[in-house]
Amino acid sequence: MTIDMENMVAYVNGALDKYLPVKDNFQKNIYEAMRYSLLASGKRIRPILAFAAAEILDVPREEIKPFACAIEMIHTYSLIHDDLPAMDNDDLRRGRPTCHKQFNEALAILAGDGLLNKAFEIMSQNIKDMNGVLAMNKIAEMSGSEGMIGGQVVDLESEGHSVSGEILQHMYRCKTGALLKAPILAAVALSCGNKLTDEAKYLIHYGEIIGVAFQVKDDILDVEGNTEVLGKAVGRDVKEKKSTMVTLYGMEYCKQLLERLTAEAIADCEYFGNKGDFLKELAIYLLKRDK
Amino acid sequence: MTIDMENMVAYVNGALDKYLPVKDNFQKNIYEAMRYSLLASGKRIRPILAFAAAEILDVPREEIKPFACAIEMIHTYSLIHDDLPAMDNDDLRRGRPTCHKQFNEALAILAGDGLLNKAFEIMSQNIKDMNGVLAMNKIAEMSGSEGMIGGQVVDLESEGHSVSGEILQHMYRCKTGALLKAPILAAVALSCGNKLTDEAKYLIHYGEIIGVAFQVKDDILDVEGNTEVLGKAVGRDVKEKKSTMVTLYGMEYCKQLLERLTAEAIADCEYFGNKGDFLKELAIYLLKRDK
């Protein structure tokens, strides 16, 4: 294994802490709220994917770092806004009160805005050349209204009634898949710009597969998971009458699908030789995770 | 006058419409909500400032256009989120129901997120060189937690009790001033990067003055303005017991201050010779505006 998981999480946390330090000025409260949510114990899958892809593509860790951390900031802002009373109305996230519960709704809205904005501040501050611009653009696309935000809208509108498999797949690709693909796309852009090598193509395919698998696993955990371990409420999908892969195709099918997707992701890694070991282990880790 | 105001508004509206076209896909509703707020009849002061500064600095209109429109998108998202029930809880904006009133709260939150994200998508898509990266970075700084969002937090926390002149000035500089300075900073970055010419310095000073003047005028209009003309509720500051320049220093002082600031902005324009005529007229327009 070329990258150690626990070390990587610590490395990401250190970098996030540096990119968003404590401030003691008139608006210090927004920094407190932003840091509260950002520095809660996340899995850091997205930045870790960025570092793993960068290593395979020989992109220096320092170069991918601002993009990796920006994606985690975007992920965190989306959780803050998703948890708001007008959205999913959740009280618990990453094992702690959600941002609006800990502070208040107005500050949570602004903290979310602040994190999205900060992501682009940090990226634009650290761009060295046009490949960096492309990396940032790919991230912006993946997090936008044709990516993650688009998926959230479809999710929102699917509540309370069943949706077709086509819409559900589209929703998964956008809502979860896009921001899990973003770290790979960023690493690829930094490495070879718009001219995709075979290595880059395999990596992107891996990212796409992992993105779908991640959401299928989330659906399974919403039924079979444990609130204490997950750090968030379970059983929400059934309660809110949400269509998920589990409600649409059944638990057994989903577990088989997850196995199949994981095997496919692992097969992609063969192309990278020994360098692909970490991504293989990551795929298995994501298959087996209980949170 | 080198730039005609009415034509400029039409030009900006046309550009915004092209950057955010109608979509007919699964997430078409978010585009409808984003366009509803973005294409409402705004004054377009920020993009117009960008085009005016670009003209003085010989930056082609096509080059500043994505940045100018991105700033208007950022401005619009901040209005959508500001109007939310958890924030200012406003029903009326630009003469129409606010976004959450027209649609719903969840979609309004996502439409705001979508516009902020789209701003960075459009900028990153249109960056040609490192000066473009700098322009985007300046905009990100001005709209972030040390700029506009920071000002919104201070504003939020000042509600219901009086604040010092120092805090108030800081709030004005951030909340309104930063995003009015952003178009100038973007034009300057595109023109001369980080090496500021004297012309650039005068322009930036003009932008700073206009930013404060704009907020002072807003405070005056909240007392003396007309809801029908303004397209938003008046008398909010007194009702919400907000500290403003008017409540702190009185109406007479504020009107004199506004005159002084306008004269100072006009004096900056002398440096640009004939090319400064439009910015002079703009300063007077902002002084006299009734909406």
pLDDT tens sequence across B277-291: 999 999 999 999 988
CATH code of the domain covering residue A42:
1.10.600.10
Cβ B143 vs Cβ B150: under 8 Å: no
Q: Which of residues 152-191 of A touch B (CB under 8 A)?
A: 152-154, 156-157, 167, 170-171, 174
Query: In chain B, what's the furthest Cα-to-Cα distance?
Result: 54
Q: Give the residue-averaged pLDDT of A95-118.
A: 97
| Stretch among A153-162, A266-275, B48-57 having the lowest mean pLDDT | A153-162
Residues of A (202-261) whose Cβ lies below 8 Å from B: none
CA–CA dist B265, B283 (Å, integer): 7
Backbone angles phi, psi at B93, to 5 degrees: -155, 130
CB contacts < 8 Å between A and B, how many? 144
Contact A113 B118 (CB under 8 A): no
Q: Which residues from A are below 8 Å from B104, CB to CB?
A: 86
Give the mean model confidence (pLDDT) for residues B206-217.
94
If one counts every other C-beta atom within 10 angstroms of the C-beta of residue B4, the result is 11
- How many angstroms separate the CA atoms of A30 and A113, rounded? 10
Task: Return d(Cα A58, Cα A275) in angstroms, integer.
Answer: 10
pLDDT at B275 over 80: yes
Closest CA to B287 of B261, B267, B268: B261
Asked if A116 and B113 come within 8 Å (Cβ–Cβ), the reply is yes
**Residue bearing tokens 């090598």:** A197
Dig out the tokens for A205 from the structure: 């395919």
Chain A residues within an 8 Å CB radius of B157: 29
Q: Is the pLDDT of residue B237 over 80?
A: no
Q: What is the pTM of this model?
A: 0.96
- Mean pLDDT over residues B170-183, rounded? 95
pLDDT score at A95: 86
ipTM of the complex: 0.95
* Chain B residues near residue A171 by CB distance under 8 angstroms: 26
Structurally, how many domains does chain B consist of?
1
Given this model, what pLDDT does residue B3 score?
A: 57
Nearest CA in chain A to B151: A27
pLDDT tens digit string along A213-272? 999 999 999 999 888 888 877 787 777 778 888 999 999 999 999 999 999 999 999 999
- Is the model's pLDDT at B96 over the cut of 60? yes
Instruction: Kindly compute the dihedral angle of the four CA atoms of residues A220, A221, A222, A228, in this order, to the nearest 10 degrees.
Output: 170
The pLDDT value given to residue A3: 57
Kindly tell me if the per-residue pLDDT of B30 is higher than 50.
Answer: yes
Residue B148 scores a pLDDT above 80? yes
Is B145–A34 a contact, with Cβ atoms under 8 angstroms apart? yes
SS3 A93: strand
* Domain extent at residue A228: 5-288
Q: Calculate mean pLDDT across residues B235-261.
A: 89
Residue scoring higher pLDDT (B114 or B161): B114
A154 residue type, one letter: V
* Whole-number pLDDT of residue A2: 47
* Chain-chain contact of A152 with B124 (C-beta, under 8 angstroms): no
Cβ–Cβ < 8 Å for A183, A53:
yes
pLDDT of A228: 81
- pLDDT at position B2 is 47
Residues in A closer than 8 angstroms to B77, CB to CB, are 113
pLDDT over 50 at A64, yes or no:
yes
Mean pLDDT of B262-273: 96
Quickly state the pLDDT bin for B233 (edges 50, 70, 90).
confident
Angstroms from B244 CA to nearest CA on chain A? 17
B144/A174 touch (CB, cutoff 8 Å), yes or no: no
Q: Could you say which residues from 68 to 87 on chain B have a Cβ atom under 8 Å away from some Cβ of chain A?
A: 77-78, 81, 84, 86-87
Report pLDDT for A280: 95
Interface test mutation site (partner B, options A25, A30, A75, A87, max chain B beta carbons within 10 A)? A30
Output the average pLDDT for chain A.
Answer: 94
A152 CB neighbours in chain B (<8 A) are 110
Q: Report, as an integer, the average pLDDT of B195-224.
A: 95
Pairing of strands A92-93, A96-97: antiparallel
Which residues of chain B lie closer than 8 angstroms to A67, CB-CB? Answer: none
Can you give the pLDDT at residue B125?
Answer: 98
Q: At A228, which amino acid appears? A: E
Mean pLDDT on B184-212 = 96
Q: What is the mean pLDDT of chain B?
A: 94
What pLDDT does residue A1 have?
44
Task: For chain A, say whether B66 makes contact (Cβ under 8 Å).
Answer: no
Q: Quickly list H helices, A57-173.
A: 61-83, 99-102, 105-125, 130-143, 148-158, 165-172
| Integer CA distances (angstroms), B270 to A266, B50, B72, B188, B196, in order | 67, 19, 28, 18, 18
Q: Read off the pLDDT of each residue in A171-187 and give the average, rounded to a whole number.
A: 96
Average pLDDT over residues B205-232: 90
Mean pLDDT over residues B19-26, rounded?
95
Chain B residue numbers touching A141 (CB-CB < 8 A): 121
